[in-house]
Structure 1
Amino acid sequence: MQYAPVVVALPIADRPTSYRFYSEGLGLEAVGEPAEDGVPEPLQFALNAGFRVMLVPTGGFGWVIGRHEVAGRGQSECVVSLPAATPADVDQLVGRARAAGAEVVVEPGPQPWGYTGTFADPDGHLWTVLADAH
């Protein structure tokens, strides 16, 4: 069975801040019509035809996770990995994220598995950008 699109939900503190970071900072296009605050509800970005990230205010996120707790900033339960064609593309996207306010947690550079860099979004969620080693 195939599931498309796959949606990864991440808790956020502030909808407008996250919306600006992902749309203006990373250049992603939001899915859906804007709500009264000008931000689409639900706040989703399509990374490709089969994968979306949905950004949910922490209170609403609690409705989904029940008695579980949201991981605190600096505690990561997942890393979202974005492919890049070349090391220069890795540098560009990590640089763009930094300019938009991301914390670069691993500077772009060569690793045994490829050329990669990792940044944390405004809520501390980790995103790694990877150009495969060939």
Structure 2
Amino acid sequence: MTTTFVNLPVRDLTASVEFFRALGFTADEPSPDGESVQLTLGADARLMLHTRPAFEAYTGVPVTDPATSREVIVGLAVESREQVDDLHDRAVAAGGGSLGRGADQDWLYMRGFRDPDGHQWSFLSMGG
């Protein structure tokens, strides 16, 4: 089995952890240097949040501005349309920005949002 790790830079580590906790994700204790936190998104998916300086140290390049460019879109599959709507609404209530009504096709229902740092996410249900 493979575990996926999504790594993202954030402006305020504590605020970002609280945002993702509001969506129901669990967080580990911060790294010993206080620059990173791992959150569990699912059985085989983790989110690593890093302060911007720590992220730049890992990558060796400046952090991109998510207001003017996209470095990644993270999509998380859930079991039902109702879960998509609930999680999207929780993200917006916790300080995220809605990307609108979303996609509604026969086989896919998806709604997107931006987290407080501007990273683009979507919750989706395939056939559910």
> Would you say same fold, with TM above 0.5?
yes
Contact 1:90 1:108 in 2 (8 A): no
One-letter code aligned to 2:64: A
What is the TM-score when the length of structure 2 is the normalising length? 0.86
Q: Does 1:122 align with 2:116?
A: yes
SS at structure 1 position matched to 2:48: strand
Contact 1:91 1:108 in 2 (8 A): no
**Equivalent residue pairs, number:** 126
Quick one: distance in 1 between partners of 2:41 and 2:56?
24
Quick one: distance in 2 between partners of 1:95 and 1:87?
12
Inter-CA distance 41–58: structure 2 relative to 1 (3 Å threshold): closer
Q: What pairs with 1:1-134 in structure 2 (closer than 5 Å)?
A: 4-23=2-21, 25-31=22-28, 33=29, 42-66=36-60, 68-74=61-67, 75-111=69-105, 114-133=108-127
Inter-CA distance 34–12: structure 2 relative to 1 (3 Å threshold): closer
Quick one: distance in 2 between partners of 1:89 and 1:14?
27
- C-alpha displacement at 1:14, in angstroms? 0.4
Give runs of ≥4 in structure 1 deviating > 6 Å: none
- C-alpha displacement at 1:52, in angstroms? 0.4
- C-alpha displacement at 1:73, in angstroms? 2.4
Contact 1:94 1:108 in 2 (8 A): no
Q: Deviations over 1:80-115 (max 9, x none)?
A: 111121111111110111110100113244036511
Give the CA RMSD over aligned residues: 2.1
Percent identical among aligned pairs is 34
- C-alpha displacement at 1:19, in angstroms? 1.3
SS at structure 1 position matched to 2:74: strand
Quick one: distance in 1 between partners of 2:52 and 2:100?
26
One-letter code aligned to 2:75: S
